[in-house]
């Protein structure tokens, strides 16, 4: 569960993070860097894809400049992974709702723009 999100900061399990991060298999992967700042490519989340979640929630930042690539969208569809991309504030609520529902959910969150 994600405890809190504010522009540039996310709190999970009592630890505050000030850089983009992923949540894979219930574990936080801090300091997430991508090939291109505001685009998410398949290679940027290979660990998530290998974990085979039911749902992948991408937090696009505030106001939501980061976007998944078309290749990533296509691959998720082929693998049967539900891909949801929303501004990070909404994505946190979505991630927590899927977690509470007992789904295998992974997340990739841009904490700023």
**How do residues 15-28 score in pLDDT, each as one tens digit?**
999 999 999 999 99
What's the token pair of residue 31? 């300091």
Phi-psi region of 26 (alpha: psi -120 to 50; beta: other; left: phi over 0): left
Strand partners, 40: 68
Question: What pLDDT sits at residue 21?
Answer: 98
Count other Cβ atoms within 10 Å, centred on residue 34: 16
CA trace torsion 26, 3, 97, 50 (10° rounding): -20
The values of phi and psi at residue 91, to 5°, are -60, -35
Domain spanning 4-109: CATH superfamily = MTH938-like (3.40.1230.10)
Question: What pLDDT sits at residue 112?
Answer: 95
Q: Where are the domains of the chain?
A: 4-109
Question: What pLDDT sits at residue 73?
Answer: 98
What's the token pair of residue 41? 């490519």
Q: Residue 97 belongs to what H/E stretch?
A: helix 88-100
Which residues of the chain, if any, have pLDDT below 50?
A: none
């Amino acid at each position: 569960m994600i405890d809190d999100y504010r522009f540039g900061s996310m709190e999970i399990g009592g630890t505050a993070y000030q850089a983009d991060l992923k949540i894979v298999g219930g574990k936080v992967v801090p300091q997430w860097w991508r090939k291109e700042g505001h685009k998410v490519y398949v290679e940027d989340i290979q660990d998530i894809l290998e974990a085979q979640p039911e749902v992948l929630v991408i937090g696009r930042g505030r106001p939501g400049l980061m976007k998944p690539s078309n290749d990533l969208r296509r691959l998720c569809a082929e693998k049967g992974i539900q891909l949801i991309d929303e501004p990070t504030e909404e994505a946190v609520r979505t991630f927590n709702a899927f977690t509470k529902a007992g789904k295998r959910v992974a997340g990739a969150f841009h904490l700023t723009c």
